[in-house]
Chains A and B, each alone.
Chain A
Amino acid sequence: MATRIGIDIGGTFTDLVFLRPDGRVERAKVLSTPEDYSLGIATGIESTLAGGSLRIEDVAQIMHGTTVATNAILEGKGARVALITTEGFRDVLEIRRLRMPVLYDIRWRKPRTLVPRHLRFEVAERIDHEGRVERPLDEAGARTVVERVLAGKVDAIAVCLLNAYANGAHEQLVRELVRARDAAIPVTLSSELLPEIREYERTSTTVVNAYVLPVVRHYLGRLEAQLRARKISRPLTIMQSSGGAMGAAAAAERPIHIIESGPAAGVVGAAELARRLGNLSLLSFDMGGTTAKAALVDQGQYLRVGSLEVGGGINISGRLLSGGGYHVRAPAIDIAEVGAGGGSLVRIDAGGGLKVGPESAGAVPGPACYDQGGTQPTVTDANVVLGFINPVALAGGGLPLRRELAVKALEEAVAKPMALTLEEAAWGVHRVANAAMARALRAVSTERGRDPRDFAILAFGGNGPVHAATLARLLEIGRILVPPVPGLFSALGMLFPAVERHYVRTFKRDLAALDGTALEQAYRAMEEEGGAALAEEGFAPGMRSFERQVDLRYIGANSELTVAHGADGGNDARSLRERFGAAHEHQYGYRSDEEAVEIMNLRVIARGVATESHVPERLTLGAEAPAGMGARQVYFGPAVGWVKTPICARGDLGETWRQGPLLVEEFDSTTVIPPGARARRIAWDTIEIELG
């Protein structure tokens, strides 16, 4: 029978999850190998194979999330790229949208432009906003430009001409001129990658694609070679930021789609779990060492945004202030991130207020209790002092901890200056961290017009299950779910997505004057493109499905809303208007029926339909942990104080409720069930917690 492997690469560890067809889950954690990540993966697979419980022949598929594209950008190690653009516009890439991600900061520096000015070339041509050629491409001039580009010894070429979203003919001509001189160099055309209005966003996206393309292509080639050398010739599928999967070959051509593949996988897992548990509505909450991430899953469906910024750092008001990173216009799951995690540093500011993060102790030196030289307290130190985290060793018996170092750090940095007891100080740190993380949860709920109280929290990441209960109380949320392998849940999430391709095309016109034939033609063209892509990944015509969407806005409004363009008709102007009005009311709390509406973009999602569900009905963890692991003192706040709290394993929980206080300790995390709450184990080996 066929086993599928999910692989998530982090800065420190590479997580591997093996899912057998009967639903049994095995896991492995190996050190990442940043000089060549494919080595770590090979080692991880090899060690599991050596364990004897899995055979090479059993492996059906390998699903992978990778930060290789992101890292190339963050470390400035992408390709040497030339940009060809319209006369008068070569500085668009560097001028950007002018905006800064922070107010008042005279020390801020804008990110280095990915293509230096001397590698940005102009050609004389002009296409207007309706796609009419105002001035034909000056081919002689363009040939000279191509010569100069190639003389610049570049690894890849990006072409983005003004208004090319409306007509890509001149971009194609430029590519032909390149091909006539060099048949191999990768060329990314904006009109093929992203035929969408707004020249900076399109230019930046095209340039990022060209910049990471050679790196991603090389990495995926190495990984496939490593796997082949171990006689694993199963398909390698890559996770996209959008939550869909794509074949390795396609990912190498359009790497802008795999930039946020790791974080997306956790949310895909959350959505799958939500569907299996009856189309639940969840807030996924992923708390790791340096950041916490939140996403909204509405009745089993996650939401997407149209763009992301790479390397922008973490910014709480990121949705308002932008410009910190490299803009990439590609669909991505709507994830909010804040700089609060287990390793977040704690300090007192000049006004006497307690600050948690966004600075982090990182993997080295790590929290004070790790005894690796860290002396400044972290959130993890507070959780150790409170008894939430095992004070002797990290769960799973890995790294030994020294509680006395956590105590010392908190005493000196917080308790003494604020004249508090040790537990008051630790409790305060825990709550202030929650306040920061609540902002991420609010960003995906309240800011989207949704009330968090209507959702359950799905907590994962090493620290998610530690904070979930207190965070839920802050947001007045009553129900928490902790999935199996919470610390490796992103790797598990890799196993769920379908193969997907996203297409967008600007089709800007007044809805009132909608030409149904032109619209249908535009959709058909996009579906043909999607069909061809799916064919390349092995999906026969009967195994392809297409979802049509349309971006609408009130004429002149800032942002568009995406609504369904239904497969079963009902897409006349009046119905679309109504659907948009309802969506606007849902999102922003009002609608303006007297205002004119316009279409901005058409979207198509092409999906490969799997012959059978590749996810078993039930998931169970391979090894049952021993029952009854004793008890320890845990501090649950001043009203409750210290409480002797029993410790158990996930396997000790049954279908009947068990009253808190209780700690569930396992390999990769600790779940805290406070007094007044109760917990049980439900389908998919998930822990359900109800707060009192």
Chain B
Amino acid sequence: MQAQASGEAVLRKEMLQTRDPFALELIKNALVTLADEMALTVSRTARSFVVKEALDFSTALFLADGELIAQGTCLPFHLGAMPFAVRSVLNTFGGRIRPGDLFVTNDPYDGSTHLPDVVLVRPIYREGALLGFSSALAHMTDIGGRIPGGNASDSTEVYQEGLRIPPSRLWHQGVPDENLFRIIERNVRVPDKVIGDIRSLIAACMVGEREMIKLADRYGSGPFRQYCIDLLDYTERFTRAEIAKLPKGTWRFVDHLDGDGIDPRPIPFVATVTIGADDLTIDFTGTSPQVRGAINCVFPFTLSTALACVRSIVDLSIPNNAGYFRPIKVIAPEGTIVNPRPPAAVAARGITGIRIADTVFGALAQAVPHLIPACGSNLPEVGVSFGGTDAHGKSFVYLEFLLSSWGGGPDRDGMDACTGTLVNYSNTPAEMIEADQPLAVERYAFVPDTGGAGRFRGGLAIERHLRFKADDAVLQIRSDRRDHRTYGLAGGGQGAASDVSIRRADGKVDHLPAKFLTRVNKGDVFAVRMAGGGGFGDPLERDPDAVLADVVEGKITAAHAREGYGVVVGGSPPGIDAAATQGLRTRMRRRS
């Protein structure tokens, strides 16, 4: 009886029909779920704070030719970078890849984007043929080199930055390469954490392998591959349709980094965005040549950043795969800070990625002013690394990236304290820091009056005070936005500048440059104040009630209400002096 055909057979028959418009949706769903399952495996089993709290890792699946078919919902900054690792493995080992192999690279010029990011690539075989790859990447707590944490911004060559592993076989047909593992162990400061994180990546790759084979079992390798190709085409169509909705034209924006930590001169970034009928080009021509310090940003990271920015102005349900990349072209001239030549140092390229994003958003804001908020300080621009030996003679490394708030938007205030869309960072609980590190957190709070004034206020800066409980430790800081502050839009003001200082145990206060390396001792208190977000729109048009609410909340002072917004607040409980406000605002308008 035909009606008794088994469920599997029914399903397979449907799939094998030349055109099943729903298989696409089913495969897409399965791949996204799978990439997320890989990501969960990493987040649950990883050892380092960077992976756990910052979600500074990514997972992905590829077809045999290296086309990205799914990426986990991890770090948007890795969006376009993962395919480079698979390409490097294919370039190095093409034709010599065997079942049971597992590859590793952290070479920023050959598959990774800086040395702390270790990428694993696992070839997946089904019925003796290469089906695809699963891959996982995570930022290690340490990768050796001059400075604990591997993020020093003052190195001048990649050779100083730590252990550099070119694309290599970590496993030969299922057998781990003990030599390579020992080399890694001996070259990093916290081998248990680093090896633990590598194990966690291996576990994720294995989950990806097992489940991708199951998927192919359901449809057969050939149909599975075809559906994946259809999925990429669908994604490309979807992306083009979204771009087609945007206004056509060319827009240019310039932003700066204050300096590279070696050379104090500002570093310009130029982004020219051209939106065509159904494609989009981002051209970084005009951006600074590569610099001496370690903030050069290799092309895969530049590309990722640009792709992730565009992702914010198109439909959120577009899948993360190679089809999304096709309509978007990124031009970054070789020899610039956004596409350096080896052996330029690159460890602290994260800060450059942030400025690339700020610049691209600045250009996009002119194309779609109703969508893009003013510049935030919501990306992890401030890097703190602290290392030494504790009272028990054990070495420790503390690494954290800090961020604060959003810029004001076209119809809303900037969110006070929230990660930006290009990362998904979390902060480290003060209580965990105190329980695990020789540190005490003395303050973690908003700083009033630091949000850029605007019809929609920029978000507030956050400050963090850390007291050291160990002697003779190394503190290394990377910060920016001191000379070139977060930009406002549509007449909104800039956010407040960042600042760092150390109050020594003897009470003396050292004011420090934005990027530095110093020794600290027990009792010293390090204070970092991040930048505030930019404002959106004319501050004189801000609703006086909103200004009053900010005063009541202690987010701005009455003095700032008067100077920044022309609103006179006084009395107890505080109220608006309407007549004085009107007069002041009129005078301020006349002045401007």
Chain A residues with a Cβ under 8 A of chain B: 88-92, 94-100, 102-106, 109-110, 116-118, 128-129, 162-163, 165, 197-201, 316-317, 319-321, 349-355, 418, 420, 428, 431-432, 435-436, 438-439, 442, 446-447, 473-474, 476, 508, 554, 556-559, 587-590, 592, 595, 636-640, 643, 661, 674-676, 691-692
Asked whether B434 is an interface residue with its Cβ less than 8 Å from the other chain, the reply is yes
Q: Offer 30 A-B interface pairs, CB within 8 angstroms, sorted by A.
A: A91-B446, A94-B417, A95-B444, A98-B419, A98-B426, A103-B76, A103-B424, A104-B308, A104-B312, A110-B415, A129-B435, A201-B429, A319-B40, A320-B36, A349-B238, A350-B238, A351-B239, A428-B22, A431-B22, A432-B26, A435-B25, A435-B26, A439-B29, A473-B11, A556-B47, A592-B199, A595-B192, A640-B5, A643-B3, A676-B4
User: Which of B6, B45, B434, B552 is within 8 Å of A558, CB to CB?
Assistant: B45
Cβ A640 vs Cβ B199 within 8 A: no
Which of A92, A447, A588, A639 touches B13 (beta carbons < 8 Å)? A639
A691 x B7 contact (CB < 8 A): yes
Given contacts A201-B429, A350-B237, 11 further A-B contacts (CB under 8 A): A100-B419, A129-B435, A198-B429, A199-B429, A319-B40, A350-B242, A435-B29, A438-B29, A588-B41, A595-B192, A643-B3
Q: How far is the CA of A30 from the CA of B46 in the complex (A)?
A: 50
> Most chain-B Cβ atoms within 10 A of its Cβ — which of A352, A508, A661?
A352
Q: Are B415 and A351 in contact (CB under 8 A)?
A: no
| Tally of chain B residues near chain A (CB < 8 A) | 100
Please state if B445 and A88 are interface contacts (CB–CB under 8 Å).
yes
A691 to B6, CA, bound (A): 8
Q: In this complex, which of B13, B22, B426 has the most chain A Cβ atoms within 10 angstroms of its Cβ?
A: B22
Across the interface, B424 reaches (CB within 8 A) one of A100, A118, A473, namely: A100
Q: From residue B552, how far is it (CB to closest CB) to chain A in Å?
A: 6
A589 and B412 within 8 A (CB):
no
- Min CB distance, B462 to chain A, in Å? 7
Contact between chains at B9 and A639 (CB < 8 Å): yes
Instruction: Looking at the assembled complex, report how far the CB atom of A594 sits from the nearest CB atom of chain B, in whole angstroms.
Output: 8
Chain A residue numbers with a CB within 8 Å of B285 are none
A316 to B35, CA, bound (A): 13
Q: For the complex, is B206 an interface residue (Cβ under 8 Å from A)? A: yes
Q: Which of A95, A106, A110, A349 contacts B312 (CB 8 A)?
A: A106
Question: Which residues of B are found within 8 Å of A432, using beta-carbon distances?
Answer: 22, 25-26
Return chain B residues, CB-CB under 8 Å to A94: 416-417, 446
| A320-B73, A639-B9 as given contacts; A118 in contact with B553, CB under 8 Å | yes
The 5 closest A-B pairs by CB, nearest first: A351-B238, A675-B3, A473-B7, A88-B443, A558-B52
**B435: nearest chain-A partner, CB-CB:** A129
Q: Are A197 and B3 in contact (CB under 8 A)?
A: no
A351 to B72, CA, bound (A): 21
Query: Is B76 touching A104 in the complex (CB atoms < 8 A)?
Result: yes
Q: Are B444 and A447 in contact (CB under 8 A)?
A: no
Contact indicator B46/A354 (Cβ below 8 Å)? no
Question: Cβ of B21 < 8 Å from any Cβ of A?
Answer: yes
| A117 CB contact (under 8 Å) in B24, B318, B554 | B554
Could you tell me which residues of chain B, from 442 to 458, have a CB within 8 Å of some CB in chain A? 442-446
Question: What residues of A have a CB within 8 angstroms of the CB of B391 in the complex?
Answer: none
Per the 8 Å Cβ criterion, residues 326-356 of B in contact with A are none
With A198-B432, A321-B424, A676-B6: A554-B419 Cβ-Cβ less than 8 Å: no
Contacts of A97 in B (CB 8 A): 426-427
Q: Give the residues in chain A near B22, CB-CB below 8 Å.
A: 354, 428, 431-432
Q: Who on chain A is nearest to B235 by CB?
A: A351
Are B403 and A98 within 8 A (Cβ)?
A: yes
Given A350-B241, A447-B37, residue A89 in contact with residue B445 (CB < 8 A)? yes
| Cβ-defined contact, B312 with A557, below 8 A | no
* Complex contacts, B30 vs chain A, CB 8 Å: 435
Complex alpha-carbon distance, A541 and B17, angstroms? 68
Pick the most buried of B73, B241, B372: most chain A CB atoms within 10 A of its CB.
Answer: B73
CB within 8 Å for A640 and B425 given contacts A106-B312, A435-B30, A439-B29 = no
Question: B529 in the interface, Cβ–Cβ < 8 Å?
Answer: no
Contact of B196 among A436, A556, A638 (CB under 8 A): A556
CB contact under 8 A between A105 and B312, given known A98-B418, A197-B435, A639-B13: yes
Q: Which residues of A contact B311 (CB under 8 A)?
A: 103-104
Q: How far is the CA of A129 from the CA of B8 in the complex (A)?
A: 57
Given contacts A353-B238, A435-B26, contact A129 B434 (CB under 8 A): yes
| Complex-state Cα separation, A636 to B73, whole angstroms | 35
| From B44, B238, B429, contact of A197 by CB (8 A) | B429
A474 to B33, CA, bound (A): 14
Q: Give chain B residues whose Cβ lies under 8 Å from the Cβ of A639.
A: 2, 5, 9-10, 13-14
Please give the residue numbers on chain B whose beta carbons come within 8 Å of chain A beta carbons, in ascending order: 1-11, 13-14, 17, 21-22, 24-26, 28-30, 33, 36-37, 39-41, 43-48, 51-52, 55, 72-74, 76, 192-193, 196, 199, 203, 206-207, 211, 234-235, 237-239, 241-242, 308, 311-313, 315-318, 371-373, 403, 409, 412, 415-419, 421, 424-427, 429-432, 434-436, 440-446, 462, 465, 552-555
Query: Which of A96, A106, A661 has the most C-beta atoms of chain B within 10 angstroms of its own C-beta?
Result: A106
Q: Please, how many angstroms separate the alpha-carbon atoms of A102 and B238 in the complex?
A: 20
Once bound together, how far apart are the Cα atoms of A151 and B346, in whole Å?
A: 56
Q: Are B2 and A640 in contact (CB under 8 A)?
A: yes
In whole angstroms, how far apart are the Cα atoms of A482 and B28 in the complex? 30
Chain B, Cβ-Cβ closest to A472 = B7
- If A109-B415, A118-B553, A590-B199 touch, whether A128 touches B440 (CB-CB below 8 Å) is yes
Chain A residues contacting B430 (CB-CB under 8 Å) are: 89, 162, 199
In angstroms, Cα B203 to Cα A589, docked, is 7
Q: Which of B55, B199, B207, B316 contacts A105 (CB 8 A)?
A: B316
Is there an interface contact between B21 and A446, defined as CB atoms closer than 8 Å? no
Separation of A637 and B10 alpha carbons in the complex (Å): 8
Q: Are A418 and B21 touching (Cβ within 8 A)?
A: yes
User: Chain A contacts of B444 at CB under 8 A?
Assistant: 88-89, 91-92, 95
Q: Which residues of A contact B415 (CB under 8 A)?
A: 109-110
CA of A436 to CA of B25, assembled, Å: 10
Nearest-neighbour CB distance to chain A for B135, whole angstroms, equals 17
Instruction: Give chain B residues whose Cβ lies under 8 Å from the Cβ of A636.
Output: 3
Q: Are B317 and A349 neighbours in the complex by a CB distance under 8 Å? A: yes
In Å, the complex CA distance between A89 and B433 comes to 15
Q: B residues within 8 A CB of A91?
A: 417, 444-446, 462
List, in ascending order, chain B residues with CB within 8 A of A321's CB: 73, 424
Q: Which A residues are in CB contact (< 8 Å) with B28? A: 353
Given the interface contacts A95-B444, A675-B4, does A165 sit within 8 Å of B24 by beta carbon?
Answer: no
CA distance A41 to B565 in the complex (A): 53
Contacts of A102 in B (CB 8 A): 316
**Bound complex: CA of A587 vs CA of B211, how far in Å?**
16
> Which residues of the partner chain B approach A163 to less than 8 Å between Cβ atoms?
431, 434
B312 near A508: Cβ-Cβ < 8 Å: no
Partner of B6, one of A200, A428, A692: A692
The smallest C-beta distance from A625 to any residue of chain B, in angstroms, reads 26
Residues of A within 8 A of B41 (CB): 588
Measured between alpha carbons, how far is A692 from B33 in the docked complex, in Å?
A: 27
Contacts of B29 in A (CB 8 A): 435-436, 438-439
Which of B3, B48, B241 neighbours the largest number of chain A CB atoms within 10 Å of its CB? B3
User: How many angstroms from the CA of A607 to the CA of B263 in the assembled complex?
Assistant: 67
Q: Which of A198, A321, A350, A431 has the most CB of B within 10 A?
A: A350
Give bound CA distance, A105 to B54, whole Å.
Answer: 18
Q: Please, how many angstroms separate the alpha-carbon atoms of A90 and B416 in the complex? A: 14
A639 to B1 Cα, complex, angstroms: 12
CA distance A128 to B166 in the complex (A): 45
Kindly list chain A residues whose C-beta atoms are within 8 Å of the C-beta of B409.
Answer: 106
B432 touches A197 (CB 8 A): yes
- Shortest C-beta distance, A315 to chain B (Å), equals 10
Cβ contact within 8 Å between A692 and B7: yes
Cross-chain contact A99 with B553 (CB below 8 angstroms): no
Residues of A within 8 A of B426 (CB): 97-99
| Nearest CB of chain A from residue B31's CB, rounded to whole Å | 11
Please state if B429 and A557 are interface contacts (CB–CB under 8 Å). no
Q: Point out the residue from B193, B241, B412, B443 that lies within 8 Å of A351, measured CB to CB.
A: B241
